[in-house]
């Protein structure tokens, strides 16, 4: 059980294009107001800010199988990666990232004379 909690929430890292990636985090039952996404010192942090209700305040829930626990998930982000945005849709938080390649490091074709 401890290892399951340590891995929560579950996530995917998806390559969209050569320099574009998404981090997808499964957050069923969470709303935008329940989540904070922060970026500082090359660390992208996703945290729950939801107040966990006591057993008496569960709004008629008889069995709670959908986790609504507190969590913090952190990702180390390279200096050359920009966070482009975040969207929560259908229980999936998607954070878009783009690796920025300076003009001097981009491949270019040299014309032969």
29-81: pLDDT as tens digits: 888 999 999 999 999 999 998 665 665 556 677 877 765 778 999 999 999 99
Distance of CA 97 to the CA centre of its chain: 10
pTM, whole model, 2 decimals? 0.75
The CA-CA-CA angle for residues 73, 23, 107, to 5°, reads: 130
């Amino acid at each position: 059980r401890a290892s399951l909690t340590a891995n929560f929430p579950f996530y995917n890292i998806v390559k969209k294009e050569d320099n574009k990636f998404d981090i997808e985090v499964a957050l069923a039952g969470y709303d935008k107001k329940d989540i904070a996404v922060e970026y500082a010192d090359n660390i992208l942090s996703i945290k729950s800010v939801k107040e966990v209700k006591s057993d008496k305040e569960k709004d008629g829930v008889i069995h709670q199988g959908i986790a609504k626990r507190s969590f913090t998930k952190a990702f180390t982000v390279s200096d050359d990666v920009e966070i482009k945005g975040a969207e929560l849709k259908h229980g999936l938080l998607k954070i878009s990232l783009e690796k920025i390649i300076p003009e001097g490091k981009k491949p270019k074709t040299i014309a032969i004379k």
